[in-house]
A and B are shown apart, each in its own frame.
Chain A
Amino acid sequence: MGGKVSCTLGEVKNRADLIIYWGGNPAECHPRHFTKYTLTQKGRYIPNGRKDRTMVLVDIRETPSAKAADIFLQVRPAKDFEVITVLRALIKGHAVDPELAAETGLSMEQLQDLADRMKKARFGVLFFGMGLSMTRGKHMNSAALLTLAAELNAYTKFVAMPMRGHGNVTGGDVIMRWTTGYPFGVSLSRGYPRFNPGEFSTIDLLIRGDCDAALILGADPGATMPQPAIDHLARIPTIVLDPKVTHTSRLARVHFTTAATGISAPGTVYRMDEIPLPLRPALKSPYPTDEEIVHRIYQAVAAKPPLPPAVMLSQATM
């Protein structure tokens, strides 16, 4: 297992005749996804738009996205991995124990029907959300789904894509990769990048109390992280850069109001398929941009003499 078989969103628009959303609620979380990329658009090889496409929604509850779907499959909570495993077996023509399949909350007919549709599709796509990647099984669920998509390529064309959100999270991931080699969970404390999710990822660092200062950019951990992590943010000097006052700002020592990127500051944003889009500001802001503030902090830090132990450490490792 490993890797990712994917495409840009235009490929979905032009070719996909089977669209499966898994553990996500695009109608509410990505409201333009259906109309801009996946369902209603006419594509180069999808002349009739919605009529030429079949949409399947797999989730544990009937969300507003179910209204848009041709087929809604309600999985029993925490049984996604099992459903995917059954599908992988059915696609290869292996026998599946109906009793085990029954535990997933889906009938054998439903599972077989989905497997058949996947194999018969001309171009199939699996979009998966946090309902899959952040529930029981976590990354193993994502890995299983990505493997399912990869294996389907022995029969037809199939791709998978995570439904990423939160502004420019993909851009952060892309730039971390070209500067450090890793997408997230990177420690630079030894002077070179080390990667260990669970050890160096933000929540873990905060809960263990390993860090003694925090700079928060384009996020509001005070509203989303577990309480022990928030408690530590309140204990240490926390600096927030944000166009508006957030929950995190309220517990921070310093809050900088910045120009809103895309509205009054230029930049680049990476779409969920890693396509970079330029941002052109429509308005002027009295506030400085994030970049300007970080640059000025950097200059101020660089002007300070280094601490003696740091000098010795850097010489020792050179």
Chain B
Amino acid sequence: MLRITGGKVYDPANGINGEIREICICDGRIVPEVEGGRTIDATGMVIFPGGVDVHTHVAGAALNFARAMIPEDHRRNQPFVRTQVRRGGIGGATPTTYVTGYLYAGLGYTTVNEAAVPVLSARHTHEELRDTPIVDKACCVLMANNEILLDLLEAGEKEKAQHVAAWNIWSAKAYGVKAVNPGGITAWKWGKDAKSLNDPIPGYKTITPRQIIKGLADIVDSLGLPHPLHLHCNNLGAPGNCTTTLETMKLLEGNRAHLAHLQYHAYGGDDWFTMRSEAARIAEEFNANPNLTTDAGAVLFGNTVTITADGPWQHLLYKLTGHKWGNLDVENETGCGVVPYTYKEKNLVNAVQWAVGLELLLLIKDPWRIFLTTDHPNGAAFWRYPEIIHLLMNADFRREQLKRLAPKALKRIYLPELNREYTLYEIAIITSAGPARALGLPHKGHLGVGADADVAIYNESKDIPHMFAYPRYVIKAGEVVIEEGEIRKTVEGKGILVQPSYDQKVESYIRPLFQQYYTMSFDNYPVEMERIEHPDLRPCKQPRA
């Protein structure tokens, strides 16, 4: 039992904007009243619902591949010394699993969504998520390059495709569906890419990225999944890709969808020399499409490592930078690429990328539809979120930072003209209430009665980056895990998943195909339920007729 008194509460989901309220917690939930127990005096502090990260890469084969590739980064970064309550590990761009949990909790984040899981290695992802303490974890299964599914969509067998998709979600013990560069990774298996929405995918007769996106969005909506299709659009990172993104938004009319890391999809220009921001056009179209949500995928200057299922893009990045390149194609399903990368102020392209992330956050009017992410670790590591919050809340600081860019870059971006400053209320939306709503988690991202008792308490301070980087208290499921900026307790988080309904007979359709195309036995493929620690099975909405 716990009572928090005297703090200014920012709980946007319940319309509470900085009022001094009392929060009572019992048995891991927010309750109207408690008798006895501990009281935290939060006078002079602000109280947020625990943060929710809608798009991050914290576990699984791809990230673990990246860990092996950058020992030099591990050496540069913060070591975590083992203590009585926490395990040793390494911070940096790809923190070890335990440290990932500590670092997220250390920011006031209590729920994360691992955004890219192949079914084939989902067992690995869940093993890592199990070793990620404190935070609750959901994950999205990769489906836009699954060849069994693509064959069905090409043949127009939508209903069967839906059953196969649902079977895949349950096999991966996932929470949502992710589409990465639809068709592009399948093409990459022959060293090609799918740049246009309307051209048939190399290796296929008729199917186009457009049909895959539409098909999957329909499937996700029909299954009534709590989280809409999580889409990484085609043509990521390329100059002039805003036309693809605008086309994709039009295509999604009538469906729900979440566009991941929009920053990487909002560029104009014809090549690297003429690349410019098209954040204004993208934001305008996005504002007019209330069926969509997005996350920023903002970039910060410095060293990081890029990890994506988008294999062809990573090959290009390797050719551009001459840096190390890792690639792992996953049979019949997807791929992944890893390239360490440094974003530099004086690099024109990087300067545009840095600006676009912030511009989208400032130009998209409804904070309930755009969320704070860096596509960790692609744009920057998640533990740098407070730096972005600072840039959003202080226009003067932003102008100061613009001076660090190459002067040529200023003509290519909109940022110098933007004066909007985020309020604490809006920060609470983009870091917690909004993503929780987009993920379809009604018990997360707010402090109303019945919600999970995930609470972050910050010192109210003008020093924004310090305030958000070092919360005074973090409470996870009613347990005080961070106190005075130190880890006091490491609780275990839940695994969030859904079980969409499907026709059991679909297994007899998949089994022979599987035996033909895969190298694993069919019965070993689905992840066993026992492997999910503290499972939290969320309901699907009533399937649409």
Interface residues of A (CB under 8 A from B): 1-11, 13-15, 36-37, 43-44, 122-123, 150, 153-154, 156-157, 159, 173-175, 177-183, 188, 190-193, 195, 268, 270, 274-278, 314, 317-318
Contact = CB atoms under 8 A, between A and B. Distances in A.
B524 A193 contact: no
B334 to A, nearest CB: 10
A301 B350 CA distance: 51
A275 B67 contact: no
A277 B517 CA distance: 17
A192 B81 contact: yes
Of all A-B residue pairs in the complex, the 6 with the closest CB atoms, nearest first, are A10-B331, A2-B324, A7-B329, A192-B79, A3-B324, A181-B90
A179 B87 CA distance: 9
B205 interface: no
Interface of B: 59, 61, 64-65, 67-69, 71, 74-75, 79-83, 87-90, 92, 94-98, 120-121, 123-124, 127-128, 131, 147, 189-191, 315, 318-319, 323-332, 335, 338-339, 516-520, 524, 528
Contact of A8 (B88, B323, B519): B519
A10 B518 contact: yes
Contacts of A274: 61, 64-65, 121, 124, 328
Contacts of A122: 190
Nearest to A122: B190
B328 A6 contact: yes
Nearest to A8: B331
A154 B190 CA distance: 12
Contacts of B82: 188, 191-192, 314
A193 to B, nearest CB: 6
A181 B332 contact: no
B190 A123 contact: yes
State the majority secondary structure of interface residues on B.
mixed
A190 B131 contact: no
B89 A180 contact: yes
Contacts of A159: 327, 329
Contacts of A181: 67, 71, 74, 89-90, 92, 94-96
A318 B83 contact: yes
A8 B88 CA distance: 31
A299 B329 CA distance: 41
Contact of A5 (B80, B189, B323, B326): B326
A153 B315 contact: yes
A159 B327 CA distance: 8
A193 B79 CA distance: 8
Contacts of A11: 189, 329-331
Contact of A277 (B61, B79, B318, B520): B520
Contacts of B95: 181
Contact of B81 (A178, A190, A275): A190
B190 A150 contact: no
Contacts, number: 165
Contacts of A278: 123, 524, 528
Given A10-B519, A122-B190, A277-B520, A177 B67 contact: yes
A14 to B, nearest CB: 6
Given A2-B324, A180-B90, A10 B74 contact: no
30 contacts: A1-B324, A3-B318, A3-B324, A3-B327, A6-B327, A7-B331, A13-B331, A44-B516, A122-B190, A123-B189, A123-B190, A174-B124, A177-B64, A178-B59, A178-B97, A178-B131, A179-B96, A180-B90, A181-B74, A181-B92, A191-B82, A192-B80, A192-B90, A193-B74, A193-B79, A274-B65, A274-B328, A276-B123, A276-B124, A276-B127
A13 B189 CA distance: 13
A195 B318 CA distance: 26
Nearest to A154: B319
Nearest to A179: B96
The winner among A1, A154, A275 for most chain B CB atoms within 10 A is A275
Nearest to B518: A10
A317 B87 CA distance: 14
B62 to A, nearest CB: 10
A7 B328 contact: yes
Nearest to A45: B203
B517 A44 contact: yes
Contacts of A36: 519
B190 A157 contact: yes
Contacts of B328: 6-8, 274
The winner among A4, A122, A190, A277 for most chain B CB atoms within 10 A is A4
Given A177-B67, A178-B96, 15 more contacts: A3-B326, A9-B331, A10-B331, A10-B520, A15-B189, A123-B190, A153-B315, A177-B68, A180-B88, A180-B96, A188-B82, A268-B123, A274-B124, A276-B123, A318-B81
A192 B89 contact: yes
B325 A5 contact: yes
Contact of B332 (A14, A179, A276): A14
A4 B338 CA distance: 9
A180 B59 CA distance: 13
A13 B329 CA distance: 13
B127 A153 contact: no
Nearest to B332: A10
B485 to A, nearest CB: 13
A175 B98 CA distance: 12
Contacts of A10: 331-332, 517-520
A252 to B, nearest CB: 28
The winner among B79, B95, B147 for most chain A CB atoms within 10 A is B79
B71 A182 contact: yes
A13 B516 CA distance: 10
Nearest to B63: A178
Contact of B519 (A9, A150, A175): A9
A183 B92 CA distance: 16
A157 B74 CA distance: 31
Contacts of B131: 178-179
Contacts of A123: 189-190
Nearest to A185: B71
A182 B87 CA distance: 15
A159 B80 CA distance: 36
Contacts of B329: 6-8, 11, 159
Nearest to B74: A181
A275 B324 contact: no
Contacts of A268: 123, 127
B64 A174 contact: yes
Contacts of A9: 331, 519
B331 A178 contact: no
Contacts of B189: 11, 15, 123, 157
Contact of A178 (B67, B80, B190): B67
A4 B65 CA distance: 9
A183 B324 contact: no
B191 A183 contact: no
Contacts of A192: 79-82, 88-90
B167 to A, nearest CB: 18
A276 B82 CA distance: 28
A139 B390 CA distance: 45
A274 B147 CA distance: 21
Contacts of A13: 331, 519
Nearest to A6: B328
A150 B68 CA distance: 17
A14 B517 contact: yes
A177 B68 CA distance: 6
Nearest to B328: A6
